[in-house]
Structures are given as C-alpha cells and as structure tokens.
Structure 1
Amino acid sequence: MEMTNRKNLMLLVQLRWLAVIGQVATILIVHYGIGITLPLEPMAAIVLLLILLNGATLARLRNEKPISNVGLFMELLLDVAALTAQLYLSGGAANPFVLLYVLQISLGATLLDTRSTWALVVLASIAFLLLMVFNRPLLLPGGDADEFFNLHVQGSFISFALTACLLVLYITRITRNLQERDAHLADLRRQAAEEDHIVRIGLLASGAAHELGTPLATLSVILGDWRRMPVFRKNEELADEMAEMQAQLDRCKQIVSGILVSSGEARGEGTIRTTVRDFFDDAVLQWRASRSPAKLDYDNAFEPDAAIVSDAALRQVLFNLFDNALEASPAWVGFSVSRQEDKLVVVVRDAGPGFRPEMLESFGKPYQSSKNRPGSGLGLFLVVNAVRKLGGMVSACNNSRRGAFVTVTLPLAALSGTDRHG
C-alpha cells in the first residue's frame, strides 16, 4: 500500500509539471498572441507556488516517511486551490478551462478513500460556485461578443481534449499501480498459504518420525539378535544381506533423526559451526555415499571461505535438488558452488529432458511434477520455500541443447547466524 501511494504521488508530481508548462504556455498565448490582457504577476506567482510545491513533494518522496490518504488529499486540494486562483484571475466560471476540475475529482476518486473523494467534490463545487460570482472578467480587444463566443468554443475544445488525454494517461497508470499492489497482496497471501502448508507437512513429518522411532529401534534389536545367531553367522550370503539391512536401517534412523533435528526437537549436541566449503564438501560426500551416482561433477569454487552454522534444512534442500537431478539424469549430475560478493550461489545441473514450459511457469508450487505418482512435486515446493525463509531465491531454466539447471542464491548473513529469517 505504501509503495502504491508513493507511485501515485509521483504521478501527481508529473501531472503538476504538465500543469505548470500548460499554464505558462496558455498565459503567453492568450496575453501576447490573442491580445487579452491578463494579470501576469499574480498568475506567475501561482505558477511559482506550484513549482515550489512540487519541489517539497519530491523532497518528501525522498524521505522514508509513509504517504497516507490524508497526504494525497492535501496534495490534490492544493492543486484545486491553484486552479481556482488561476481561474479567478482569468474570467472565473466563464473560463473554458474550468473543466479541469473534473480531472482533479477523477484523480481523487482513484487515489483517495470515499470520504476524502466526496470532500474534494464538495470543495471543488464550492470553488466553482464562488467563481460564478467572484472573478476578474476577461476583456477582449474591441469587445466583440461573437469573437468572445468563438474563442470560448475553441478554448472549450482545447480544455476537453487536454482533460480527456490526461485522464486516459494518468488513470491508466494509476490503475496499473493498483493492479501491481493487488498482485503483490495476492502473492503475500499465496506465500502465507504455502507456509501454512509447510507447517502442516512439518507437523506430519515430525509425527511420523516419532511414530517410526519405535519400530525402527525394534527392528534394529531384532537384526542384532539375528546376526549373532549361528545359523546366520555360518551363511556368508545371509550375513552380507543382514549387514546391508542393518546399514539401510541405520540410514532410516539417521533420516528420522534429521527430521527431528530440523523440527527443533533433538538439538542436544548444540550448534555446529563450520565453513561454506566444508559444509558443501561434507554434504556432497554424504549424498554420494548414499545414492552412488554414476557420475557427479562437483566444483567448489567458493572463495574466500566464510564461517556459517551447519543447517540441516539447507542440507535437505541440497539433497532434494540432487535427487531430482539424479532421477532426471541417472548418467550425470553437475554441482557447483561459487560466491558473488556477499551471496552464495549454488547450481545443480542435469542432462535430462528438462522442465516442461508449464512447470517453469509454476516452478515451486506444490504438486507440479512430471512424475505420475501421489505426492510428487513437493520436493521443489519445499526447496523454494525453505530458501525463501532464509532470504534467498530459487530459479530454474532449461539448457539450450539438453538438460536443465536450478540456481539457488542465498545471502551469507542468513547462514552465518547473524540474520536468520523466519
């Protein structure tokens, strides 16, 4: 709302500059071109006041003070007062440029609340009525009534054309500002809904982790007992399979522990500090050991290194991106880490078929996936929202020939513990 008011106030400043130029041109044409005597000094003073008002408004825009409805109302009210003063000095209500009141009221109806708009209508109407009684009459050279009528008709057309053009120009731009504001509000509501969705997913994951803890512990005990039994120890093939089962079971327990750590329920070991290079080296080593990709090109070009807090959520973000790339491209996955000033840039590449156009348009939204199975598409959704909570952004793009890449950009302050978002 504040940004929209600032944009609209800037439009009023631009309109006022046009009014200054138009008034100067009209005064010079009427006084020197047509020969109608005008009080140049007071009319020039009003133009100067409009210039000073614009200067004050621009200074106000440079400040961080909020722009309220009252502020916009006062700006329009001063414009109405300046227009009234100029009309008073140039024929009053008989001046064809009295139609410019409609422009001011139309702007008020677009920018102000209902009460302020009606107040502006009442004040402009009172000004119009006063101009019918109090004004400085225009004196034509020779006093020809027909000539005055012709000039009035011509002035009315110019006033109509000017008002119509300015209305179309500025109402269109103001409407665009309002549409941008509405789109921003809709985006905020969507983000709030997505975060609520993530909270529900997190609660379900945490609950599932608690529930899985007991059966996993039971299975671990049973497997330990089986491995000590002579019938299994004598059979090398069974012993190897039991060892593999134990390794997979240990991995499941690590995943469950990771879920609980991410949800803030198992932080007994305290905060772990590391560096960017070590964090990504360790994450890649862990993912490579658990997934065994055919080929992984890893380039850690982050220089100079920086201290960060080891973040389980960021590690899971990486694993989700790696898993998606590996599923799309089992033969090759590329991963690079670099630094751009105070930002961390992570790029995950694959040589798969790439993203479909509709997936790129809705990238990061839940359940947007080419995998035809229940629950698919949540991985990238969680990735985008986890990165957004850290103050970063995620983008996706297809390569020109084949494959795709996903880029994650994060502020280092969000990882160092000095500026934690969310």
Structure 2
Amino acid sequence: MATHPIRLPPPAPEDAAARNMRQLVLLRWLAVGGQCATILTVHYGLGIQLPVAPMAVVLAALVMLNVMTGLGHPHWPVTNFQLFGALVCDVVALTVQLHLSGGAANPFVSLYLLQVVMGAVLLHAWSSWALVGITSAAFAIVALASPPLNLPPWLATSLSPAYILGLWCNFVLAAVLLVLFVTRIAANLRSRDAHLAAMRQRAAEEDHIIRMGLLASGAAHELGTPLSSISVLLGDWKSEPAIRREPRLAAEVDEMQAEVMRCKSIVSGILFAAGEVTGEAPERTTLRRFLTGIVAAWPGRVLFEDRLGDDRPIVADRALGQALTNLLDNAAEAGASAITLTAGLEDGIVVMSVRDDGNGFSAEVLAALGRPYNSSKDRKGAGLGLFLATNVLRTLGGTLQARNLGNGGAETVLRLPIASLALTTA
C-alpha cells in the first residue's frame, strides 16, 4: 500500500510586535551612537561645557535597556504595552538629555516628533494618544524647568517666552495631526491587508472546489455505466418467474431499483453542477415544490415547516438541493431523532433553517465554519458537507450560519436572494 509523506506546515513568521521591538532596539543603538558623537563634538570640539558624566549615565541606561530587551526578547511575547513602555523610556531619556543641555533651546528638541511618529505607527490608538500627551508634557517641562546652557559669546542666544510658547503649540499641533492621520492610514492598510487575506483564502477554497469538482465529475462518469448495468439486471430479475412468485423478493428488487435510481439522480446532479450535459433541461418548478421534493427524496424523516406564503416560480438548482441534503445527512449523523426544515421569505430573501436535537457542533467546527475537512468525525473525507453548502450559498449570493441551541441540538440557517433562483421569462 502506497504511503504519502506528511506535509508539515511552514514555521509561523515572527510576530509583528517582536519585529517592531527589534527595530526599536536597533534605532536605540543608533540613538546612543549619535548622542555620544554629538556630546563629544559639542563638549570638546565646540568648547561648550556639558555635564558629560550625567549624560553618560543616561547613555549607559539606554545601553542596559537594549541589553535587557535583547536577553528577554526570545523568552516572552511582545505586547503593545511593552512597545509603549520602550517608547516612554526613550522619551524620558531624551527629556533628561535635553534638560542637561539647554532645554527647549536645544535644536534636538524636535526629536520628540520622532517618538510620536513611531508611536502612531507601532502602537494601538489609545497608547499613541497617550504618547502625544507624554511628549507634550515633557516638552513643556524642558521649556520651563531646564537651566540655560552656558554658551560662548559667539554662540550665545536667547529665546523669548512667547517664542517658546509658540514652539510648544507648534509641537502639540504637529503631534496631534501626525497621530490622527498616521493612525487612519495604518487602519486603512490593515483593512486592505485583511481584505486581501480573505480574498486569498476564498481563492484557495475555490481552487479546492474546482479540484473536488473534477474528481467528482470523473467519478460520476465512471459510475454511470455500472449503475445502468445494475438497473438493467434488476429489471431482468424482476421479470423472472421465481421472483414474481415471491412478494418479499419482488419488494427487495423494487427497493434496489429505487436506490439505483437515486444513485443515478445523484450522479446526474454532480454532472449538472459541473456544467456537463446530462440530457436534462433545467427543471422549472416552484420554491415550495422544490423544497418538498428534497424532503420527500431524503430517506429519513424530516418535518417541513412551510412559512413561504405565496409560492414563487424558480429554476431548480441541483447544487442547492445537494447542499440541503448534505445538511440533513449531517443532522442524522449527529444522532438527531427529530429534524426540522423551515423555509420562509423575508424581503426577497429565502431563509431556510435545518434544526435538530442531535449532539450539536463542537467549538472547533463552529470556529472554522465553512472550511474543508472541518469535522469531529474521524472517517476519511468527513467535513465537506458544511464546506460545500457554504460555497454553494456564496455562489448564489447567500450566506450560511450555524449555532448550537440552548436546549441541545443545532441549527444551520441558509439565506439567499430569491432572485438567484427566480424563473425569468424572455
């Protein structure tokens, strides 16, 4: 017997928050290097006296923060709060450095905007706005409380309080606008990515359906000949005198003929759904007759609750009929003793529900509703009923929902526009 190798899923990509934290660590290393170079240039190159020791302590704290982050990163997941805390640490370090080097008169005060932009891109909305408040407060602190830097005469300058106030207002306005628009742009990008992911998932499911359809139509072709042969043989058996004399044997032959005709009808439905010619014209019927025919053809017992009101002419959709049959089969396989099919019309929408008193759906099946091979049954090929029904409804412009009932059992609700089945006349 041939064996098939087990395909392991590809390793999950690194979490986006972890990648963002790694970028923050890299940016902090660049900031440490830049600050170190700037302090040395200003203090020793330009002759401006800076408190080098306290500023070096701040740089050492940033280095220690980076080392601790690097050591802890592989062992714990990165959350939004941790990213927020890392950015707040950077803001505090920048505030201390500015306080030690002239406050708002320091040209590097605009680096607060860099923290705001990173927060808008990396953080959730509430933490982005919190960072705006923190940086605005830090800007105000360095503007009001920082001692002036002792500059050489050729570099000495002074900023009026009105200018400092205008500078702070300009910062707050720029920070608010940045967060407002960057967060909206990020939300639009996330929405686009989610839509693309859904489209890729749908394309993969439709490709799966195509492959299943090719397999099913091939099997239908292969089954057509033996089913026809069996039907001819049963007809010959029925005319045999020995069988005609035995009512029990004659009844069994009649039952076998009925089952063979049902198999042939299923095969014809598969070929019809695959778009192949089966010698049958599309069946014109009504919605009520279509549903009662499905209930009558199903081998089990189903209670049909008719809430349709006025009947509507339709073209029978074999795929929809097979989808409803699959749902009835699922209910029976779940151990249901009572199955109810309810149908009604609500504002041009056909609403059909299949309720049962069986074991219901597992949480895993409900969480992955509509995906192939999503089933609690262990047999091979299980889990295709809801998958096929979902895609049939989607093709017709409808939806499928499933839930467990509070008193036991489950309910599957199908909704589709009556226009997708309506009989149009030229």
Residue 404 of structure 2: aligned partner: 398
- Pairing partner for 2:290 from 279, 286, 290: 279
Show CA shifts across 1:174-197 (max 9, x none). 212211111111111111111111
2:265 corresponds to 1:254: yes
Contact 1:349 1:403 in 2 (8 A): yes
CA displacement 1:358-385 (0-9 Å, x = unmatched):
2112100101011111111111101000
Query: Hey, what's the Cα distance between the residues in 2 that align with 1:262 and 1:279?
Result: 16
In structure 1, the residue matched to 2:128 is none
The answer for unaligned runs of 5 or more in structure 1 is 1-93, 111-144
Secondary structure of the 1:202 match is: helix
Change (3 A) 1:217 1:273: closer
- The alignment's TM-score, normalised by the length of structure 1, stands at 0.60
CA distance in 1, matches of 2:236, 2:283: 35
| 8 Å contact kept, 1:257–1:266 | no
**Match among 156, 163, 174 for residue 152 of structure 1:** 163
Find the residue that maps to 1:271 and give its secondary structure: coil
In the alignment, is the contact (CA less than 8 A) between 2:400 and 2:412 conserved in 1? yes
Give the AA of the match of 1:390.
L
Whether the aligned pair in 2 keeps the contact of 1:347 and 1:406 (CA below 8 Å) is yes
Instruction: Note closer, same or farther for the CA distance 1:209–1:331 as it changes in structure 2 (3 Å cut).
Output: same
Q: Are 2:195 and 1:179 equivalent residues in the alignment? A: no
Preserved contact between residue 302 and residue 338 of structure 1 (Cα < 8 Å): yes
Q: Is residue 2:311 matched to residue 1:300?
A: no
The CA deviation at 1:389 is 0.5
The amino acid of 1:187's aligned partner reads A
Aligned twin of 2:323: 317
C-alpha separation in 2, matches of 1:153 and 1:417: 76
| Structure 1 CA distance for aligned equivalents of residues 184 and 423 of structure 2 | 42
In structure 2, the residue matched to 1:163 is 174
Alpha carbons of 1:273 and 1:245: their partners in 2 closer, same or farther (altered >3 Å)?
Answer: closer
What is the match of residue 18 of structure 1? none
- 2:161 partner SS: helix
The root-mean-square deviation of aligned C-alpha atoms, in Å, is 3.1
Three-state SS of the structure 2 residue aligned to 1:377 is: coil
Name the CA distance, whole Å, in 2 between partners of 1:389 and 1:339: 19
Q: How does 1:325-364 map to 2 (within 5 A)?
A: 325-364=331-370
Structure 1 residue 331, shift from structure 2 partner:
0.9
Tell me, yes or no, if the aligned pair for 1:393 and 1:410 is still in contact at 8 Å. Answer: yes
Residue 417 of structure 1: how far off its partner (Å): 5.1
Which residue of the partner structure matches residue 196 of structure 1? Answer: 207
Q: Is the 8 A contact 1:273 1:310 kept in 2?
A: yes
Residue in 2 aligned with 1:10?
Answer: none
How far 1:161 sits from its partner (Å)?
3.1
Give the partner amino acid of 2:390: V
Whether contact under 8 Å (1:344, 1:410) holds in the other structure is yes
Q: Would the alpha carbon gap of residues 267 and 231 (structure 1) be closer, same or farther in structure 2, given more than 3 Å must change?
A: closer
Q: Distance in 1 between matches of 2:269 and 2:312?
A: 24
Cα gap change, 1:267 to 1:209, in 2 (>3 Å): closer
**Which of 373, 384, 388 is the aligned partner of 2:379?**
373
Provide the rounded CA distance (Å) in 1 between the counterparts of 2:295 and 2:251.
27
**Residues 286 and 240 of structure 1, relative CA distance in 2, 3 Å threshold:** closer
Distance 1:239 1:390 in 2: 43
Partners of 1:305 and 1:239 lie apart in 2 by 39
Q: 1:14-46, CA deviations, whole angstroms, 9 ceiling, x for partnerless residues?
A: xxxxxxxxxxxxxxxxxxxxxxxxxxxxxxxxx
Q: Aligned pair in 2 of structure 1 residues 236, 416: CA closer, same or farther (>3 Å)?
A: closer
TM-aligned CA deviation for residue 150 of structure 1: 2.3
- Provide, for residues 332-355 of structure 1, a one-character-per-residue CA deviation record: whole Å limited to 9, x for no partner: 011111111111111111112222
- 2:148 is matched with none
Question: Which of the residues 238, 249, 269 maps onto 1:238?
Answer: 249
Q: 1-side partners of 2:342 and 2:191: how far apart?
A: 36
1:214 partnered with 2:225: yes
Residue in structure 2 matched with residue 385 of structure 1 by the alignment: 391
Give a deviation string over 1:273-331, Cα, whole Å, max 9, x none: 222222222222222xxx132xx332111123322211111111211111112222431
| CA distance in structure 2 between the partners assigned to 1:324 and 1:331 by the alignment | 12
Alpha carbons 2:313, 2:423 under 8 Å: kept: no
Tell me the residue number matched to 1:263.
274
**Contact 2:268–2:278, Cα closer than 8 Å, also in 1:** no
Alpha-carbon separation, structure 1, partners of 2:171 and 2:267: 73
Alpha-carbon shift at residue 225 of structure 1 (Å) = 2.8
| Shift of residue 236, structure 1, vs aligned partner | 4.1
TM-score, structure 2 as length reference: 0.60
Between the aligned partners of 2:312 and 2:303, the Cα distance in structure 1 is 23
Quick one: which amino acid aligns to residue 285 of structure 2? T
Equivalent residue number for residue 93 of structure 2:
none
Aligned-partner Cα distance in 2 for 1:191–1:223:
45
CA distance in 2, matches of 1:251, 1:279: 16
The CA distance in 2 between the partners of 1:175 and 1:305, in whole Å, is 50
